Amino acid sequence: MNDKRPVNLDLTTIRFPITAIVSITHRASGVLLYAGIAVLLWMLQASLQSEASFSELKEVLANPLAQFIIWVTLAALAYHLVMGVRHMIMDLGYGESLEGGRRGAQLAIVCAVILIVLAGVWVW
């Protein structure tokens, strides 16, 4: 391996415009979601195992702590999904100018916040 290859980014010197914030939070939500999958699978299992476990799950879902954990998971999913769609729209070549990137990021944040609030309404 050639060790003299250039290092292209020094991550520690970079400042954060809105597009970068959207990017890093997309990453954070992806990592969070990975943990959240355990919660979702657990709910799927409880909901399908039997009639009894289904109603047990319903009781658990009345607990504020459980609701909070589920909301965080759904929020991560909503956020990641919206930002992922934004990402892929840009992959297709739309909104790639500096201004377009900012607008898209703002629009996506608005969509994500709406979905996250709705997810909260849904859970509670």
Partner 1 sequence: MVTAVTNLGRSGVYDWLIQRVTAVVLTLYTFFIVGFILSNSPLDYATWEELFSQFWVRIFSLLALVSLAAHAWIGLWVVLTDYVTTLTMGSKGTAIRLFLQVVLGVVTVAYTVWGIEILWGL
Helix, strand, coil shares, percent, the chain, to 5: 80, 0, 20
99: tokens are 């201004």
Half-sphere exposure of 111 (CA within 13 A, CB side): 17
48 binding ligand HEM? (CB under 6 A): no
Residue 41: which of ligand HEM, partner 1, none does it interact with, CB under 5 to 8 A by kind? partner 1
Residues 76-95 that bind ligand HEM (CB under 6 A): 80-81, 84-85, 87-88
Residue 11: which of ligand HEM, partner 1, none does it interact with, CB under 5 to 8 A by kind? partner 1
Residues 28-87 that bind partner 1 (CB under 8 A): 30-31, 34, 37-38, 41, 44-45, 47-49, 51, 54-55, 77, 81, 84-85
Rounded Cα–Cα distance for residues 102 and 19 (Å)? 6
107 binding ligand HEM? (CB under 6 A): no
27 binding ligand HEM? (CB under 6 A): yes
20 binding partner 1? (CB under 8 A): no
- Radius of gyration over every alpha carbon of the chain, rounded to an integer in angstroms: 19
Distances (CA, A) of 109 to 17, 19, 56: 14, 10, 36
